Structure 1
Amino acid sequence: MTEPQPWTEPPAETAWDAVPPGYGQPQPPPAAPGYGPDFPAFGQAVEAFGQPLPAAPPEPPPGPGVQPPFVAPPTQRDKGRMWAGIGIGAAALVLCGVGSVAGCVGLGFWLDSEQKSESQDAVQRYLGPLVRGEYGKAYLEQCSELRELETAEQYTARVSARAKLTGYSIISSEQAPDSGPTALVQLVRVQLQYDSGPQSGQFRVIHDQADKRYEVCGGDN
C-alpha cells in the first residue's frame, strides 16, 4: 500500500480554460484588401496613380471695358441742311431710277423749297446789316468770289456813298436758268426802301463751296 501524496493547490487556469480577448463581443469584419487608390468624391479631380494633380490654369485677365463711341459735335444749321438736301437729292435719283414717279416728284418739290428758304435767309443776312449801317458785316455775307474783287474798305466806301437803305421785303425766289446739280443758284426778288424812295431789286444767291453755305453773289449790292 502506497503512501498518500500530500495535497497541492491546482493552478488557477489551464490552457483549456483560457478565453481569447474580446470573446463574446461583436468585432468589425476585416477590411477587404484595397485595389488602387480610393475613388474621389463627386466633383473632385481624379489623381493619377503615383502622380500629383496638375495645377488649375489661371483665369484670363478681364478684358478692357467698351469705350463709348465718339459723339460728333453738332454742325452748323446751314451745313446740316445742306447735307440733308444732298442726301434727299440722291434718294430722289434712286426713286426716279426705279420708277417711283410720285416719290421723285415729291422729293423734288421738297428740295426746291429748301433751296428757296436758304436763299431768302442769305438775302436777309445781307440786307439786315445794311439797314443798320454795319457795312463791314454785310461785306462778309457776300460770296467768296465777290469778296475777292474788293476789300472791306472799298465795299464800305462804295455802299455808304449811295442812298441809305432803310428797309426791305422779300417778294419771291426761283431757280436761276444756269442752276445745276453742282451749282445751286437762286434768284431772289425784293422790294428795297431807300431814304430816297422805294426800288425793286433782285439778288443772285449761290451755294458757296468755300464757305459751305448760301450767300449773296450778285445783284443790287
Structure 2
Amino acid sequence: MTQPTLEGVPPGPGARPPFVAAPTEGSSTRLWWGLGTGAVALLLFCGGGIALLVGLAITGVRAVEDQANQTVTRYLSALERGKPAEAYDLVCAEMRKHYDVDEFAALERNVTTSTGYTVGEVDLNTLQVPVTLEYASGPDRNVTYQLAQDSSTGRIEVCGTA
C-alpha cells in the first residue's frame, strides 16, 4: 500500500492564503464619487462640444453677413466714385463672361448717377441684399443685388440684380 502525497491537498483552517484579498469598504461612497465625477466630466465634454458647434455656426453666419455687406458697399462705392474697374473686380465669373469692363460700366450707369445708397440686411437663404439708391433729381430706387460665393477663393461676389 502506498501513501497519498500531501502536495495537492489544501491547507487546513488558520492557514494563510497565497495572495492578499482586495480590501473592502463598509460603504460604497468612493465608488459613487467616482461615478458622479465621471458623469459630470462627460456632461461638460458633450455640452462643451455642443456649445462649440453652436458658436461656430453663429460666427459663420455673422462672417457671411459681414462679408456680403462689405462687398456690396465696396461695389457701390466704386461705382459712385466713377471707378467701374474696381467694381468689376467684385463681380462673379458669370457676369465677366457676359460683359467686359466697358459694357459693365454702361450697364451700371444708373448707380454712378446716384447720390447715396442704403444697404439692407442680407438674406442668407438666397444671398440677396436689398439696396436703396438715392437720387438728387428723382425718387429713390430699390435694387436687390444677387450675390454668390466663389468656390475657389471663398469670396462673396456680386452677380447682378434679382
Q: TM-score range by the shorter chain?
A: 0.5 to 0.7
Find out whether 1:202 has 2:148 as its counterpart.
no
Q: What is the aligned partner in structure 1 of residue 134 from structure 2?
A: 193
Are the equivalent residues in 2 in contact too, given 1:170–1:190 (CA < 8 A)? yes
Identity score, percent: 27
Find out whether 1:147 has 2:112 as its counterpart.
no
Q: Which aligned segments of 4 or more residues in structure 1 are displaced greater than 4 angstroms?
A: none
TM-score (norm 1): 0.46
Q: How many residues are matched?
A: 115
Q: 1:114 aligns with which of 45, 60, 63?
A: 63
Displacement of 1:138 after TM fit? 1.6
Are the equivalent residues in 2 in contact too, given 1:135–1:156 (CA < 8 A)? yes
Are the equivalent residues in 1 in contact too, given 2:148–2:156 (CA < 8 A)? yes
Q: Structure 2, unaligned stretches of length 5 or more? A: 1-45
Residues 85-126 of structure 1, C-alpha deviations (whole Å, 9 max, x = no match): xxxxxxxxxxxxx67433222221111001100111110111
Are the equivalent residues in 2 in contact too, given 1:130–1:165 (CA < 8 A)? no
Question: Greater helix share, 1 or 2?
Answer: 2
Alignment of 1:18-97 (within 5 A): none
- Higher RCO (Cα < 8 Å, 6 or more apart): 2
Q: What is the aligned partner in structure 2 of residue 102 from structure 1?
A: 51
Find out whether 1:158 has 2:107 as its counterpart.
yes
Q: What is the aligned partner in structure 1 of residue 160 from structure 2?
A: 218
Residues 136-187 of structure 1, C-alpha deviations (whole Å, 9 max, x = no match): 322222112111111111112233377712211112112124xxxxxxxx22
Q: What is the aligned partner in structure 2 of residue 137 from structure 1?
A: 86
Q: Structure 1, unaligned stretches of length 5 or more? A: 1-97, 178-185
Are the equivalent residues in 1 in contact too, given 2:81–2:112 (CA < 8 A)? no
TM-score (norm 2): 0.61
- CA distance in structure 1 between the aligned counterparts of 2:156 and 2:54, rounded to whole angstroms: 24
- CA distance in structure 1 between the aligned counterparts of 2:94 and 2:119, rounded to whole angstroms: 24
